Amino acid sequence: MKVVIFGIADFASLAHHYLKTDTDHEVVAFTVTSDYLPAEQSFEGRPVLPFETIERTYSPTDFALFAPMSHRSMNRLRQQTYDAAKAKGYSLISYISSRAMVLSNASVGDNCFILEGNVIQPYVTIGNNVVLWSGNHIGHHSVIHDHVLFTSHVVLSGHCVVEPYAFMGVNSTVRDGVRIAEGTFVGMAAAIQGDTDPWSVYHGSPARKSRVPSTALRF
């Protein structure tokens, strides 16, 4: 499959590397919105085209898109790009590392970026537009909804639900049967022992809710 990658920052660079070395996909170009278009209009030896008109050069009939973007604005920027690509008629590929362990009966949606060392147990459902960085454990019968990002070495125990737009920090842990509400920001090394509130921030072990909502975070 010939693929256009959205972005020209670190996530796009890594996506290019993984697709080139670990899949049969061919990256033919990169795309960004016109206000981020670089002067040289190239990145990693490939052309960079404005997203507003990308379909004129790379038709959705013949090319797929991949948008493995960061968690900016609590994953909502990635969601907006995902929706815009779908509106243009593109199919979006997912990348699942050959060094990830995805057990039978697990389901993964489109535009997911799942790196090496992830263990995804049976009966897990992962939605669309989800990023799982390296080395996470996703417990059996858990559900991760759309537009979520896990950093590294997160432990999600069995029978958990992670609602859209959640962010899971490095080394955070979620006990079994817990619901991570929409837009929850779980800080580094936080231990979540009960259901969270929507658009809230949790830090510490055991985790405590911050007075600052996740919508106020600047990253």
pLDDT of residue 78: 98
**pLDDT, mean of residues 104-124:** 97
In a domain, 216, yes or no: no
Please check whether residues 120 and 164 belong to one and the same domain.
Answer: yes
**pLDDT, mean of residues 170-185:** 98
Please check whether residues 130 and 79 belong to one and the same domain.
Answer: no
Please check whether residues 77 and 148 belong to one and the same domain.
Answer: no
Predicted confidence band at 97 (pLDDT cuts at 50, 70, 90)? very high
In a domain, 212, yes or no: no
In a domain, 21, yes or no: yes
* Mean pLDDT of the residues in the chain: 97
Please check whether residues 115 and 196 belong to one and the same domain.
Answer: yes
Predicted confidence band at 104 (pLDDT cuts at 50, 70, 90)? confident
Predicted confidence band at 88 (pLDDT cuts at 50, 70, 90)? very high
**pLDDT, mean of residues 174-203:** 98
Q: How far is CA 57 from the centre of its chain?
A: 26
In a domain, 52, yes or no: yes
Q: How far, in Å, CA of 130 to CA of 7, rounded?
A: 16
Contact between 184 and 169 (Cβ < 8 Å): no
Please check whether residues 52 and 157 belong to one and the same domain.
Answer: no
Percent of the chain with pLDDT over 70: 100
> Among the three residues 87, 120, 151, which one is the final residue of a domain in this structure?
87
Predicted confidence band at 191 (pLDDT cuts at 50, 70, 90)? very high
Number of C-alpha atoms within 13 angstroms, CB side, residue 205? 10
pLDDT beyond 80 at 15: yes
Please check whether residues 66 and 108 belong to one and the same domain.
Answer: no
In a domain, 213, yes or no: no
H or E element at residue 86: helix 76-87
Note the pLDDT tens digit of each residue in 17-53.
Answer: 999 999 999 999 999 999 999 999 999 999 999 999 9
pLDDT of residue 219: 74
> Among the three residues 25, 56, 87, which one is the final residue of a domain in this structure?
87
Please check whether residues 58 and 109 belong to one and the same domain.
Answer: no
pLDDT of residue 218: 81
Please check whether residues 6 and 82 belong to one and the same domain.
Answer: yes
Domain count of the fold of the chain: 2
Q: What one-character-per-residue DSSP string does 9-55 give?
A: SHHHHHHHHHHHHHSS-EEEEEEE-GGG--TT-EETTEEEEEGGGHH
**pLDDT, mean of residues 184-195:** 98
Model pTM score: 0.97
Please check whether residues 188 and 133 belong to one and the same domain.
Answer: yes
Q: How far, in Å, CA of 94 to CA of 130, rounded?
A: 9
**Could you list the residue range(s) of the whole structural domain that residue 151 is in?**
94-207
Please check whether residues 12 and 38 belong to one and the same domain.
Answer: yes
CATH number for the domain including 106? 2.160.10.10
> Among the three residues 72, 87, 102, which one is the final residue of a domain in this structure?
87
